[in-house]
Chains A and B, each alone.
Chain A
């Protein structure tokens, strides 16, 4: 399948797709100077990937220690796209990974869980 990898920087997370396990990881901090410029290539890749995917479940791990409000909207867009998949009968596993000491991230996860009931977002503390 199609490879994808963006290295982490101070303001942007690492985004990497592992063919093995059909797993996408988003990890780090996210407050890019230009949010749409940063995430545009990712969403282009995601669209292609979801269009061409097989029957294997698609797993997404979101492990962000800091997100600004623009990123929250990006995540909203991501989960919307994933929920569409679920609604189309495809298998998606989405994990929201947060530090056990980070209540705001848990709360944010709970809100997303609430907003995307069909997706069944898993809240995973570390």
Chain B
């Protein structure tokens, strides 16, 4: 067993210091008390003896003075001097003449006043009366010295006795404290230190049945509880490690699978993108070649921007000796489904245009309507799809004198001398399941003049959300823009329109395919 001396001495030193302090204080107080008490007592005693001496003297000396019996007076004085405390005695007659005086050595020759003025002595005076006649005065001085010596002796004994008793009590207290409190606490402290350092196996010395014993028992219970807890924790930790291991394995497996999936997705994406890129070529092949356009149109621009590589918008230009057809189709959906629809629409349009209705856009629209319904919902079969398209068709005669327009939910915009006129298409789409196949579309005939500008657009441009409030660009804003730029070259108009759209769109995504065709005639 090791005892940390610092702490050990700390507790007992505190107790010892306190005890010693208290004891010293007690001793001082007690001594002062004894001394004061004894001084008082001695003083009283001295007074008594002084008075006795005076009384005795007055009794014995009175008759001798009356008879002036000097020899008797001296004998009486000598007798009184047997009292060892008496140091001075004098008798004076009524005329203040000294009848007798005696000093105890070493105070020979000292007057009464010497004794009266010194604290070492106590003095007294008494009148000598005999038969009620004043004969003179007695003056007596007694020494305090001897009494004080006695006093000092008895006080010393008392103080020593007290000191011995109290010291015995203190030592006993200290010994009991060390044995019953300090040592058991040190043992407890050691046990606690052992527990603190992680040793939970050694029992705590439980000691006696006192409070420290209870504390020791509690500490032992605590040690056992902690041991239990740590055991549980270790178990839990092992389990956690096991879980962590399993989790790690699972994560690895998942990561592995994920990266495989990612590769598969990348592969699929490459395949799909490749397919779409190729589909784009096919869709583009459906669009008229630049030469076809240049051949008939003097000045024009075409904006064709599918929102995903391929789209549901398509434009067509057919130029024959019978004149020219310019068409914009906006099929339901965009992306691949839209592109499929454009293939059907484009093919169907080419076939219809090759017939006798080349110059009649309204008839062509009806033909397309019927054609689409018959192809898409063949034999009235219950198909899930419900698809169709909007269309705008312009026919221009070979002499470029008139333009005939028919639209299915697509309008033609004409600008002439800074005035914008919307030539509205019919509010019917083509090819939907509930379409009325007998519906007759309307032709609008316009006499062409130099400087006229025409614009044909799917709803992608006006529908694009953007601006500060995320609203559609809208027809009004588009029309204002067209009015602002229509006198510029068609190339500049195209650039301006695209800038305007992109600015409106901002950070938002393109929502639909965008197609705008602008053209004019020099005539």
Of B94-102, B148-156, B189-197, B471-479, the segment with at least 4 beta carbons within 8 Å of chain A is B471-479
Interface residue ranges of A77-119 to B (CB < 8 Å): 99, 101-105, 107, 111
Minimum C-beta distance from B337 to chain A (A): 9
A5 on the B face (CB < 8 A): no
Sampled A-B contacts (19; CB under 8 Å): A31-B511, A31-B512, A35-B333, A36-B384, A36-B386, A65-B465, A66-B465, A66-B472, A69-B330, A70-B332, A70-B333, A73-B429, A101-B469, A102-B472, A103-B475, A103-B476, A104-B463, A104-B474, A104-B475
The answer to whether B390 touches A69 (Cβ under 8 A) is: yes
The 10 A-B residue pairs with the shortest CB-CB distance in the complex, in nearest-first order: A104-B474, A103-B476, A66-B465, A102-B471, A103-B474, A104-B472, A70-B332, A99-B471, A31-B511, A104-B475
Interface residue ranges of B173-199 to A (CB < 8 Å): none
B31 on the A face (CB < 8 A): no
B427 on the A face (CB < 8 A): yes
The answer to whether A65 touches B333 (Cβ under 8 A) is: no
Interface residue ranges of B287-335 to A (CB < 8 Å): 330, 332-333
Which B residue's beta carbon lies closest to that of A98?
B471
Number of B residues contacting the other chain (C-beta, 8 Å)? 23
A63 on the B face (CB < 8 A): no
Residue of B333, B390, B469, B472 with most partner-chain A CB within 10 A: B472
The answer to whether A73 touches B432 (Cβ under 8 A) is: yes
Which residues of A lie under 8 Å from residue B432 when comparing CB positions?
73
Which residues of A lie under 8 Å from residue B465 when comparing CB positions?
29, 65-66
Given known contacts A31-B511, A36-B384, is B474 in contact with A65 (CB within 8 Å)? Answer: no
Measured in the bound complex, the distance between the Cα atoms of B313 and A68 in whole Å is: 13
B459 on the A face (CB < 8 A): yes
Which residues of B lie under 8 Å from residue A107 when comparing CB positions?
475
Interface residues, chain B, CB within 8 Å of chain A? Answer: 330, 332-333, 384, 386, 390, 409, 427, 429, 432, 459, 462-463, 465, 469-472, 474-476, 511-512
Measured in the bound complex, the distance between the Cα atoms of B69 and A36 in whole Å is: 163
Measured in the bound complex, the distance between the Cα atoms of B465 and A57 in whole Å is: 34
Given known contacts A102-B472, A103-B475, is B427 in contact with A111 (CB within 8 Å)? Answer: yes
The answer to whether B386 touches A65 (Cβ under 8 A) is: no
Which A residue's beta carbon lies closest to that of B433?
A73
Which A residue's beta carbon lies closest to that of B332?
A70
Which residues of B lie under 8 Å from residue A36 when comparing CB positions?
384, 386
The answer to whether A99 touches B469 (Cβ under 8 A) is: yes
Measured in the bound complex, the distance between the Cα atoms of B385 and A70 in whole Å is: 12
Instruction: List 9 additional contacts besides A65-B471, A99-B469, A104-B472; criterion CB under 8 Å.
Output: A68-B511, A68-B512, A69-B332, A73-B386, A101-B469, A103-B474, A103-B475, A103-B476, A104-B475
Minimum C-beta distance from A63 to chain B (A): 12
The answer to whether B471 touches A69 (Cβ under 8 A) is: no
The answer to whether B459 touches A69 (Cβ under 8 A) is: yes
The answer to whether B462 touches A104 (Cβ under 8 A) is: yes
Residue of B390, B465, B471, B475 with most partner-chain A CB within 10 A: B471
Measured in the bound complex, the distance between the Cα atoms of B508 and A29 in whole Å is: 13
Minimum C-beta distance from A60 to chain B (A): 21
Which B residue's beta carbon lies closest to that of A115?
B427
Which residues of B lie under 8 Å from residue A102 when comparing CB positions?
471-472, 474
Minimum C-beta distance from B21 to chain A (A): 81
Minimum C-beta distance from B327 to chain A (A): 17
Minimum C-beta distance from A65 to chain B (A): 6
Which A residue's beta carbon lies closest to that of B330?
A69
Which residues of A lie under 8 Å from residue B469 when comparing CB positions?
99, 101
Q: Which of B386, B471, B475, B512 makes the CB contact (< 8 A) with A101?
A: B471
Which residues of A lie under 8 Å from residue B429 when comparing CB positions?
69, 73
Which A residue's beta carbon lies closest to that of B477?
A103
Interface residue ranges of A45-71 to B (CB < 8 Å): 65-66, 68-70
Minimum C-beta distance from A47 to chain B (A): 17
Measured in the bound complex, the distance between the Cα atoms of B491 and A126 in whole Å is: 38
Which residues of A lie under 8 Å from residue B475 when comparing CB positions?
103-104, 107
Measured in the bound complex, the distance between the Cα atoms of B463 and A104 in whole Å is: 8
Residue of A65, A101, A104 with most partner-chain B CB within 10 A: A104
Measured in the bound complex, the distance between the Cα atoms of B469 and A68 in whole Å is: 18
Measured in the bound complex, the distance between the Cα atoms of B471 and A117 in whole Å is: 27
Q: Which of B384, B390, B472, B476 makes the CB contact (< 8 A) with A65?
A: B472
Q: Which of A66, A73, A101, A103 makes the CB contact (< 8 A) with B463?
A: A66
The answer to whether A65 touches B463 (Cβ under 8 A) is: no
Measured in the bound complex, the distance between the Cα atoms of B474 and A28 in whole Å is: 17
Minimum C-beta distance from B91 to chain A (A): 133
Which B residue's beta carbon lies closest to that of A114?
B427
Minimum C-beta distance from B302 to chain A (A): 21
Minimum C-beta distance from A15 to chain B (A): 19
Which residues of B lie under 8 Å from residue A70 when comparing CB positions?
332-333
Measured in the bound complex, the distance between the Cα atoms of B330 and A101 in whole Å is: 26
Measured in the bound complex, the distance between the Cα atoms of B474 and A35 in whole Å is: 23
Minimum C-beta distance from A98 to chain B (A): 9
Minimum C-beta distance from B93 to chain A (A): 137
Minimum C-beta distance from A114 to chain B (A): 9
Minimum C-beta distance from B459 to chain A (A): 6
The answer to whether A66 touches B459 (Cβ under 8 A) is: no
Which residues of A lie under 8 Å from residue B332 when comparing CB positions?
69-70, 73
Encode A19-52 as 1/0 by CB contact (under 8 A) with B.
Answer: 0000000000101000110000000000000000
Measured in the bound complex, the distance between the Cα atoms of B469 and A101 in whole Å is: 9
Which residues of B lie under 8 Å from residue A29 when comparing CB positions?
465
